[in-house]
Structure 1
């Protein structure tokens, strides 16, 4: 192979020109194939982009009505300003998305549903390019991303995923390594971890652990650490260190020092009362050396 040919092929590979040879069809591609590419078909709305058509088709399945019926409902319910041509595609898309999400989140365990996670991400992508005149791609493969504005608009419709107060912070963390664009793989992992955290929180809240102390204020357990005897939490008081387990509730910290076969009476570090207290991250280690950063310093006049 000549040097010019080799250089040309290497350039094409770097540009991704041969990506179609190994690309696995995505769910988006399958939806497009099923809908058909004809703009005159009943399952295709010509004023919308392919991404928006796919999303609205999924929404119509949730409602159990055809896409054209969904559009007729929008036409009948929306004001004239909402139906203005310049914003028609996005407003119609939002109308469908928000109604579909309102129904979807009433189903138990919706965060664990892979189809729900795909749907919400597809909504974000479609939100950025809703109109037929705004088609940035031919298919929705693994490289498709969503931006902050789309994430804020769609994710905030599901309060457990995000809300207007923390949206920017959540998006910043999720896209810190991808240049401010959200990948589905990262978003999917976020929702999976969120679902696990919710299940854990629910199980802990229903636990009888420290129930006699928690009942009066209706305290919910947020975290429990040190339950494995070989990996206890250490309480440092001066130069002394005591192994035990630590319980964090929405009102207080409880530390139970290890005994031979059980635990001592819980020591309460109240976080809810109006006390002159200071709680901050701290460094700790053997004999007071400042080696490890997984510690909390608590100072209060009540101790």
Structure 2
């Protein structure tokens, strides 16, 4: 079951959570409706938090000591952060609009920059030319650290995030996150 009110990432993560918990999405939604109250805040984000926390508490299957270095674990947890960051379809639409505007701005900036005597690797436009895909922002990383202290705890989460994203304008991209988890597993 896909909810039209959730972003595509949030729908995917909730589906993955239900599979990990060996239950249906409908059963998860019913359980959530039983505990959610309007004063809790945004329905979509709280639903993502509810499902993700249940899935993370489930933990790895018995005998999976190296689950941290498993790429499916890193992708799943990265997607959790993306879903938390953009839980609703309205958030997703807003993101797509801003992405389109940003691409137009990049095109006009690149077209107006003189190319002579400027090394591409040392110019100010280099970050604009690299397309890293969707990334996680600091608040999503710190939220995730509250559920699974492995990649960072609340106190150190912001420092870890800043270190991981120093070269990417404070956006955590999947390859850096995957590498970080791989290094932790060693």
TM-score by length of 1: 0.47
* Alpha-carbon distance in 1 for matches of 2:3, 2:180: 32
Unaligned runs of 5+ in 2: 98-130
Pairing 1:90–2:45 present: yes
Partner of residue 50 from structure 1, selected from 8, 21, 27: 8
Q: Which one scores higher on RCO, CA 8 angstroms, separation ≥ 6?
A: 2
Runs of 4+ in structure 1 deviating by more than 6 angstroms, as ranges, are: none
State the shift of 1:77 in Å.
Answer: 2.4
SS state at 2:91 partner: coil
Correspondence 1:155 to 2:145: yes
Are 2:174 and 1:184 equivalent residues in the alignment?
A: yes
For structure 1, list consecutive stretches of 5 or more residues without a partner in the other structure: 1-42, 197-303
Matching of residues 243-258 of structure 1 within 5 Å: none
CA separation of 1:96/1:169 partners in 2, compared to 1, >3 Å: closer, same or farther? same
Is contact 2:145–2:154 with CA below 8 Å preserved after alignment? no
Asked whether the equivalents of residues 9 and 82 of structure 2 are also in contact (C-alpha less than 8 Å), the reply is yes
Equivalents in 2 of 1:137, 1:58: separation in Å? 24
Larger radius of gyration: 1
Pick which of 87-96 and 108-117 moved more: 108-117
Please provide the CA RMSD for this pair. 1.9
Identify the structure with the greater strand proportion.
1
More helix by share: 2
Match of 1:115 in 2: 72
Across the two proteins, how many residue pairs are aligned to each other?
149
TM, length-normalised to structure 2: 0.75
Other-structure match for 2:82: 125
